[in-house]
Amino acid sequence: IKQTSKDLHEEVSQVRGVVLQKSTCEYWNKIWDFQAKPDDVLISSYPKAGTTWLQEIVDMIQNDGDIEKTRRAPTDIRMPFLERINPPYVGLDKANEMPSPRVLKTHLPVQLLPPSFWKENCKIIYVARNIKDNIVSFFHFQRMNKGLPDPGSWEEYFETFLEGKGLWGSWYDHVKGWWEAKDIYPILYLFYEDIKKHPRREIEKVMEFLGKNLDEKVLDKIVYYTSFNVMKNNPMSNYTLSSLMNQSVSPFMRKGVIGDWKNYFTVAQNERCNEDYREKMDDTTLSFSMEY
């Protein structure tokens, strides 16, 4: 019998009310006890907010714009994804094996971040994306990623997402939680939409945050090599080397734009989302642009 990609889709469970992959939940105590080091840099985001983009930007900055060095390995090997437990890929082990200085990735909401990151005062770069594009991107990702549960229909997915019952929990809690944390800890909080509109300016922010000083030419080079089309064609950043992703269903580097939600949201869904958004974002100064 031919096995469909759906058969491989993983189950989920919860940690403190947040839906995570079952394998992550089974490893939870070890993840929580993870020992961060003071010179670790953590890239954090809600899934599909532009994590891989930021990872490429950070790596290029740290390698002074050297493409060969940046292309030494696929993204998830260069920067371990802490809570991803898909043997043989065990993010936690990859992180522990890695020599310092390390750059790590997580999608954990702020309340689930292993406390050693706070204790060691690690530099953290958070990237957030407007809710509407974030939902659409995540929906396509769950369709193509065999390690994640099947998303079901777009209508079902949309509701589950707004209710905060999707993977990695509520988008609202995630973006707001990290927004509050930035007033206390060394967190650079970035927006996908800003990087899209002003890549050079935002890349410079990252550079300064990392304490680097690169000249204009190197910055230009980083802007170019981290642009959507270049990353889409780079096997070290487009996840084509990952067997978990069926890119014929939907490519990892899918569209890379602001406002693609307009191609998916019905008028009713847009109204429902706007209303939900107004209510749940009432208690924050955080704001997003949903169109270019």
Q: Tell me the site size for ligand A3P, rule CB under 6 A.
A: 21
For position 45 contacting ligand A3P by CB under 6 A, the verdict is yes
Q: Which residues pair with 100 in a beta bridge?
A: none
For position 231 contacting ligand A3P by CB under 6 A, the verdict is yes
CA 232 to chain centre: 16
Cβ closest to ligand A3P, residue 115 vs residue 152 = 152
* Alpha carbon separation from 40 to 92, 117, 178, 258 (Å, rounded): 14, 8, 18, 31
Alpha-carbon span 189 to 186, nearest angstrom: 10
CA 78 to chain centre: 15
Catalytic residue chosen out of the listed positions 107, 140, 174, 198 = 107
User: C-beta of 226: minimal distance to ligand A3P in Å?
Assistant: 5
For position 227 contacting ligand A3P by CB under 6 A, the verdict is yes
For position 62 contacting ligand A3P by CB under 6 A, the verdict is no
Among 44, 52, 142, 242, binds ligand A3P (CB under 6 A): 52
For position 166 contacting ligand A3P by CB under 6 A, the verdict is no
Alpha-carbon span 20 to 10, nearest angstrom: 10
- Candidates 90-98, 165-173, 254-262, 284-292: pick the segment binding ligand A3P (CB under 6 A): 254-262
| 140 assigned to active site | no
Among 120, 256, 272, 276, binds ligand A3P (CB under 6 A): 256
Hey, what are 152's tokens?
Answer: 């079901």
Which x/- pattern over 186-215 shows residues binding ligand A3P (rule: CB under 6 A)? ----------x-------------------
Among 10, 23, 40, 53, binds ligand A3P (CB under 6 A): 53
CA 128 to chain centre: 8
Cβ closest to ligand A3P, residue 45 vs residue 70 = 45
Spatial contact of 61 and 222, defined as CB atoms under 8 Å apart: yes
For position 49 contacting ligand A3P by CB under 6 A, the verdict is yes
Phi, psi (5° rounding) for residue 165? -100, 10
Strand boundaries in the chain, DSSP class E: 12-15, 18-21, 41-45, 85-86, 89-90, 103-106, 123-128, 187-191
Can you give the binding site for ligand A3P, defined by CB under 6 A? Answer: 45, 47-53, 133, 137, 140, 196, 226-228, 231, 253-256, 260
Q: Which residues form the catalytic set?
A: 107
